[in-house]
Copies of this chain bind each other. A is one copy, B any other.
Amino acid sequence: MSTEREALVRELDSGGRALATAAVLFHSAVAALSGLTASDQRALDLIERFGPLTAGELAERSGLAPASVTGLLARLERKGLARRVPNPNDRRSVLVELVYEGMTVMGPHFLDLGRQLHQLYESFDDAQLATIARFLREAAQIQQDAASRIPGPES
């Protein structure tokens, strides 16, 4: 491999690390702003990704005890971030869904970030953007897989 390419690889590594660190920091700052615990954030992510879930399913997926999910849902409802709705198929159980209107505290910061990134896009031509888009998508897949290989709280 050419030394030029090696230099590029190093730049990519360090840039990727910097972006990852910034993303983690940004997310935790937004979460702290809303007074969310790590479990709360994880739950919100699970609900968003796997659609309306019952309290029990959320307990399984999050690795929390059912009793803990009750408390967690109370926190999220109090903050207006999620809602319990009756399950039409089983009146014992509860479906949990996101309340997007409750995200108004976080929204502005995401919008602000989005605007600035769109400005960054302008310094690239279409072909370059397509290249970047492919990289982002595939890197995301890789990192997601890597995360899922890390033994979680349940295993």
Which A residues fall within an 8 A CB radius of B?
4-5, 8-9, 11-13, 15-16, 18-30, 32-33, 38, 42, 45, 109, 112-114, 116-118, 120-121, 124, 126, 128-133, 135-147, 149-153
Contact = CB atoms under 8 A, between A and B. Distances in A.
Given A129-B12, A131-B132, A42 B28 contact: yes
B8 A116 contact: no
Given A21-B140, A132-B132, 8 more contacts: A8-B126, A8-B130, A19-B23, A19-B140, A22-B144, A23-B23, A113-B146, A116-B145
Contacts of A38: 28, 38
Contact of A126 (B4, B20, B126, B136): B4
Nearest to A145: B116
B30 A150 contact: yes
A152 B114 CA distance: 20
Contacts of A124: 131, 135
A75 to B, nearest CB: 16
Contacts of A117: 12-13, 16, 139, 142
Closest 4 CB pairs between A and B?
Answer: A15-B136, A18-B140, A22-B143, A19-B140
Contacts of A114: 13
